[in-house]
Amino acid sequence: MNQPPKFTILLPAKGRPALVRDALKSLTNQNFDNFEIIVSNNGADENVKQAILDLLEDKRVIYIEQKKVLSMPEHWEQLSLLANGEYLMVLTDRSVLKQNALKTLDDIHSNENESNKIISWPWDLYYSDSSMLMDHKNVKCESVILNSEVLMVESMSLNCAYPMALPRGLNSSVSMEIVRKIRQKAGAAFLPINPDFSFAYNCLFEQKKITHLTCSLMISQGLAVSNGGNAYLTDSSVYVATLDLNRPIKYSPIKSLFVENVIAEDFFSACHLYERLDLINRFDMKFLYQKCLNELQEKKFARLLPKEHILSLEESINQAISEDNAQVQLFFNEIKQKFSGFLFLRGLIKRLVNTKLKFIKPYLLRLRGARKVISILDAAGH
């Protein structure tokens, strides 16, 4: 009887043929062999198939096509049901896995520490328009054991010690035993609104401690090709419409589809699913209001939404704050008075850099520590 592979890596693809090829090549080039890759062409895009045709000859690659376009949670869930590996990973079509990543993960999983059933890691950012790589900064590469409940609450704040530690599938390797437990509890491992964040929070409820690597194992394309990044400048309504949800925001006090708010909704939903409302009580709601206000400023200066829509989004935040306690209301009134001018100036500068002064972006990235690279695959060691 054949032994199951150590890893099943899901590669859900929708359009973006060149990026899909980079992602798949970063997997087939790994210096570790005991894994399977399930590539799914969502919408059966012929351009995607042609871009990876030669790579499909690799026996570790299973290629399937979805004639009907599936929503993101449904797509990820259907692929996960086909997994044969001991551990489940997701590599989105805008990311590449660094050389030696799977070998590193195999070494850690081989140490039978309970926290090693879930391993998460941060990522570097690649800006394709300028071929610049922003490396994730860390003092040294080490494994740290994190308390799941503390991580959940901290991840919702503005000052999380490990902001990339949530095991979102796309940056984690998770025991199939835990995946099955989540599916049994929730009906699916990958749920709306966001399959990555809902998966992360449910994983943390199933596992008291996880292992987090402080060094990056992958490189992700910049936010210009990210659904979440684009929604940050507009809103999540186009994406949420694909989910066919009657009431997408059920628990959050803010009822609009801010990116930060739909992430918070996934956290609140997981707390209700696992009957841990005490974690919601431990969370300071001011952080959610502040995150949504920051996102609102980005939307204002992007000028991609009608003025009426912006006003509606702003009103939804103000409404939630007005229904909170007097201390919270006073806090945000003071913020508006003290920092409104600063926020306006910061937004104006960002808009200029992203429009009329685009040519200085590479220099600004260099000032932040980015470096020029040949390609994303070369930067990943392939």
Query: What pTM was estimated for this model as a whole?
Result: 0.93
d(CA 180, CA 196): 16
Residue 358 inside a domain? The answer is yes
Is 300 part of a structural domain of the chain? Answer: yes
59 within some domain: no
Q: Which two tokens stand for residue 357?
A: 């002064």
In a domain, 84, yes or no: no
Give the pairing of strands 218-221 and 95-97: antiparallel
Please give the helix or strand (H or E) that residue 63 lies within, else none: strand 61-66
User: Number of structural domains, the chain?
Assistant: 1
Sheet of 61-66, strands arranged across:
61-66, 35-42, 7-13, 87-90, 172-175, 118-120, 209-213, 143-147
Please report how many Cα atoms fall inside a 13 Å half-sphere around the Cα of residue 15, on the Cβ side.
5
Residue 125: which domain range?
98-382
What 3-state class would DSSP assign to 306? coil
pLDDT in tens, the chain (382 residues): 478 999 999 999 998 999 999 999 999 999 999 999 999 999 999 999 999 999 999 999 999 999 999 999 999 999 999 999 999 999 999 999 999 999 999 999 998 788 899 999 999 999 888 899 999 876 678 999 999 999 999 999 888 888 899 999 999 999 999 999 999 999 999 999 999 999 999 999 999 999 999 999 999 986 666 777 788 888 888 899 999 899 999 999 999 999 999 999 999 999 999 999 999 999 999 999 999 998 998 898 888 999 999 999 999 999 999 999 998 888 888 776 655 555 555 555 555 545 555 667 777 788 888 899 999 999 999 9
State how far the alpha carbon of 17 is from the alpha carbons of 84, 243, 355, in Å: 26, 24, 27
> What span, in angstroms and rounded, lies between the C-alpha atoms of 39 and 10?
6
Is 82 part of a structural domain of the chain?
A: no
C-alpha R_g of the chain: 21
Query: Is 58 inside a domain boundary?
Result: no
Specify if 67 maps to a domain: no
Q: Cβ neighbours of residue 32 under 8 Å, at least 6 residues apart? A: 100, 102, 103, 106
Question: Would you say residue 293 lies in a domain?
Answer: yes
